[in-house]
Chains A and B, each alone.
Chain A
Amino acid sequence: MQDEVVKNIILGEDDNYIINVGPQHPSTHGVLRFEVSLQGETIKKVIPHCGYIHRGIEKMSERLTYPQIIHLTDRMDYLSAHMNNEAVCLCVEKALEVEVPERVLYIRTILNELNRIASHQLWWCAMGMDLGALTTFFYGLRDREKILDIFEESFGTRLIQSVNTPGGLMQDIHPGFQKRITEFIKYFRKKLPEYDQLLTGNVIFRERTEGIAIMTREDAVQYGVTGPSGRASGLSCDIRKIAPYGAYPRVSFKEVLRTEGDTLARYKVRIEEMYESMKILEQLTDNIPLGDYTAKMKAVIRLPAGEFYQRVETARGELGVYIVSDGNKTPYRIKFRAPNFSNLFVISKLAVGYKIADLIAISGSLDLVIPDIDR
């Protein structure tokens, strides 16, 4: 055992320069540590260390009822909070075989897409900032504010919505909901091309990202990289297409796929996904059917004994919720297959041979949310 520990501490050869990027570092966007072994500025080895904000959500959930678990899932990937909520709700609804009203499906899907745009906006801010373009941060947040206002008007919460509950929603949407979304789409369609001019087209940005850290499709599958990062490598992994849920079967949208697999491709997939999300929103917003905002549920939700698995596409990839129930009102075991957990470790393959500045760009392009890795 002791020998093993010693073996693990030695990272590379003696003359390697080892630095810790994190846990407190401007570009890890949270408490994540990369142990980087350098030669000059070239990276020879990257070892990600996580666990700095492990809160034991899975253990906590074993003592909570299903509606209570939902508020904890918000705190995993806080940028796609609604998708996380929905994953648990869908899993519980599937287990109980509850038919959810049409209206709920539509609203959930709209919230999903709004959340996805908000998440990608924040990613864009942070990606620009990682590369040293600080102004992007403010432009992205400025536009994200409009989405948060939509959430706040209807549900009173901003970053995390806490509005889903097994069977539907906690409260109905505000009468001004649709109008605000329409306004937002009109506004954002004007602003999104500015993102392209400011960053995407920029020659420095291109130099920094094009051809950097190419992830092949095989790598993506092997490492389980999903979401926009996986789709940039040509891996068709959009759960909205593979196993549709919510109102996704009713809308037409394109699964954004690119084949380059480099940092620029991962960037472009997300930018294009914002356009696609706006398309979905346009199709749904004006067609929300009338009806109840929740299905009739029992006061205490008990799942039948058995195992249930639900896949959901969050802004960062595939979220899997695996519930093992023994018939009680609390789950016997709940497991969240977090998208960032799988996406993180590919960095130790991608970053090798590139400069330390590229490591920052790569981790930015993978769009990691640290609480989701640790849970």
Chain B
Amino acid sequence: MDQAALKQHFEEILPGLTFPENKQYPEVIVPVDKLRAFCDHLKNSQELLFDYLMCLTAVDWNDHFMVVYHLSSTIYHHTVVVKTRIGNRENPAVDTLSDIWKTAEFHEREVYDLFGISFINHPDMKRLFLEDDYGFPLRKDFTDESRMIVK
């Protein structure tokens, strides 16, 4: 499916989505509470069949987090970028997608490890790389005097 068709399709499933400008892939911002249902549809719908979670990450935009999902289909080879915005900086949380795409389980743990975004209903929500009291290094406000050298 091309970009326009995908856009139209998304509109049909969930009205009121925002579609930011992205030259490369179609991009869609989904509200946090609708994310799970939306992704479930993307995975299981026969025309879309986004069965492959390419990349899962988050971006810290100082006032909010953006969790970014790059989805692709191994059959149709079309790609979409799904984003969700988390405003809560103190206790950021989003529904897990690990039962939709198994690989999300580990990517989510990585995101939890580095950003401190916890994923609700994740089967094994613990840190992947770092010690438990390390802090969340990929947050922009992370400082570690002893280990960081600022030029």
Enumerate chain A interface residues (CB-CB to B < 8 A): 4, 8, 50-51, 54, 56, 58-59, 63, 94, 221-224, 235-237, 242, 306-309, 311, 318, 320, 322, 324, 332-333, 335, 337, 341-342, 344-345, 374
Give Cα A322–Cα B27 distance, bound, in whole angstroms. Answer: 14
Please, which residue of chain B has its CB at the minimum distance from the CB of A94? B24
Q: Which residues of A contact B23 (CB under 8 A)?
A: 306
CB within 8 A of A223: which of B22, B59, B102, B127?
B102
Q: Given A54-B130, A311-B54 in contact, is the A222-B24 Cβ separation under 8 Å?
A: no
Q: Which residues of B contact A374 (CB under 8 A)?
A: 129
Q: Which residues of B contact A307 (CB under 8 A)?
A: 22, 24, 81
Q: Total A-B residue pairs with C-beta atoms closer than 8 Å?
A: 82
Structural contact, B101 and A222, CB atoms closer than 8 A: yes
Q: Which residues of A contact B68 (CB under 8 A)?
A: 322
A286 to chain B, nearest CB (A): 32
Give Cα A192–Cα B8 distance, bound, in whole angstroms. Answer: 52
A93 to chain B, nearest CB (A): 13
Interface of A is mostly: mixed
CB within 8 A of B128: which of A50, A58, A324, A333?
A50
CB within 8 A of B59: which of A59, A237, A320, A333?
A333
Known contacts A51-B130, A309-B24, A309-B25; 19 further A-B pairs (Cβ under 8 A) = A51-B127, A51-B129, A54-B129, A56-B137, A59-B138, A63-B151, A94-B24, A221-B74, A222-B102, A223-B102, A224-B103, A306-B22, A307-B22, A309-B70, A311-B54, A320-B54, A320-B70, A337-B55, A337-B57
Tell me whether B60 is interfacial, beta carbon within 8 Å. Answer: yes
Q: Which residues of A contact B25 (CB under 8 A)?
A: 309
Interface residue count on the B side (C-beta < 8 Å): 36
Q: Given A337-B54, A337-B55 in contact, is the A345-B103 Cβ separation under 8 Å?
A: yes
Q: Which residues of B contact A224 (CB under 8 A)?
A: 52-54, 101-103
A236 to chain B, nearest CB (A): 7
A314 to chain B, nearest CB (A): 14
B46 to chain A, nearest CB (A): 15
Identify the 6 closest CB pairs spanning chains A and B, nearest first. Answer: A51-B129, A224-B103, A337-B55, A222-B102, A54-B129, A335-B57
Enumerate chain B interface residues (CB-CB to A < 8 A): 22-25, 51-55, 57, 59-60, 68, 70, 74, 77, 81, 101-103, 105-107, 110, 114, 124, 126-130, 137-138, 142, 150-151
Structural contact, A8 and B124, CB atoms closer than 8 A: yes
Q: Which residues of A contact B130 (CB under 8 A)?
A: 51, 54
Give Cα A149–Cα B142 distance, bound, in whole angstroms. Answer: 43
Structural contact, B74 and A237, CB atoms closer than 8 A: yes
Q: Which residues of B contact A333 (CB under 8 A)?
A: 57, 59-60, 138
Please, which residue of chain A has its CB at the minimum distance from the CB of B109? A345
Q: Which residues of B contact A235 (CB under 8 A)?
A: 74
Q: Which of A54, A94, A333 has the most CB of B within 10 A?
A: A333
Structural contact, B24 and A242, CB atoms closer than 8 A: no
Give Cα A59–Cα B70 distance, bound, in whole angstroms. Answer: 21
Give Cα A63–Cα B129 distance, bound, in whole angstroms. Answer: 21
Q: Which residues of A contact B105 (CB under 8 A)?
A: 345
Q: Which of A236, A318, A332, A342 has the most CB of B within 10 A?
A: A342
* 22 cross-chain CB contacts under 8 A: A51-B127, A59-B142, A63-B150, A63-B151, A221-B51, A223-B102, A223-B103, A242-B77, A306-B23, A307-B22, A308-B24, A309-B24, A322-B55, A322-B68, A324-B59, A333-B57, A333-B60, A335-B57, A341-B110, A342-B106, A342-B107, A345-B106
Q: Which residues of B contact A56 (CB under 8 A)?
A: 137
Q: Which of A51, A224, A242, A324 has the most CB of B within 10 A?
A: A224
Q: Given A50-B128, A235-B74, A309-B25 in contact, is the A341-B102 Cβ separation under 8 Å?
A: no
Q: Which of A4, A307, A322, A374 has the most CB of B within 10 A?
A: A307
Q: Which residues of B contact A237 (CB under 8 A)?
A: 74
Give Cα A337–Cα B101 distance, bound, in whole angstroms. Answer: 15
